[in-house]
Structure 1
Amino acid sequence: MAINTLNDTITLEKIVRIYGAEAVSIQNNAEWLVTEKNVITPGESAIFRIAGLAPNTKAYYEVYYRNQVSKKVWLTLSDKQEIIQIKPESNFKNDFAVQFTMVYNGNIYNSIQKVNIVDASKQLEIKFLTFRNKLQPGEKESWKLQNQ
């Protein structure tokens, strides 16, 4: 809680919901889509939880890679979350996106989720060859780095 110069109080309240391994019923409309894992390594799957806002709600998702749709899937949902695992195709490098769309009571629910593919074997390993911890104002310094 904070109080400003006019003695107004400001309170910020956040609610955190922790999910277990099992799918659960959603408690409000904001939980229609929950991203569980969107940073993956090659061979892993991105994981999302999606739920309808009523029984037999239709939803749709598309997987995009380099501005092209590579996969389209229709889903029939209930208010209980469905856990969706999306494995990137073998030609996917760096990242891809998944767009989820659902219409309920005339409202469009739409979300685009970026999935990063991190390949640890392609990470740069940089070593500092020179380093000085004391430098005077105006003094020039050159650095040497080595890619291992």
Structure 2
Amino acid sequence: MDFHDRHLLRLRVNGEDHSLSDLDPRVTLLDLLRERLHLTGTKKGCNFGECGACTVHLDERRVNACMILAVSCEGREVTTIEGLANGDALHPVQQAFIDHDGFQCGFCTPGQVMSAAALIEEGHTGSDAEIREWMSGNLCRCSAYPQIVEAVRAAAGRVSQ
């Protein structure tokens, strides 16, 4: 493949269909979301898949958007932090992060929330140690980890009801 070739990409983001033309095949899903679709809630932290700030759901599985080429998302479903809530009603994880002060500076929060929502769906909330293990791919420079674990535990109770 010639890197100068441009591609057409069709995908669904937060319930909305998008057709993007003239897409460079080297563009990551993260850059597509932020620069082409202007969904800036997903953060660019390390850009190497190490910090989790760019966590989104791809076909209902959490991924680091900085590690996914956008062209590989043809026909797939992406959910970002902007699409997690149901209208004005916050997702239980979002509300739990507010209720339990699960953030400080807030930079990592979108990725933390997306990862937490996925791990609850995956059933990895049996203990605080399990929550910490399954959230370990999301780093917080402010060290709000105890509050994050509390928020995940609380949200897991709300989601399962």
* TM-score calculated relative to the size of structure 2: 0.21
The structure whose residues are more often strand, as a share, is: 1
Bigger radius of gyration among the two: 1
TM-score normalised to the size of structure 1?
0.23
Which structure is higher in helix share? Answer: 2
Q: Which has the bigger relative contact order, CA under 8 A and spacing at least 6?
A: 2
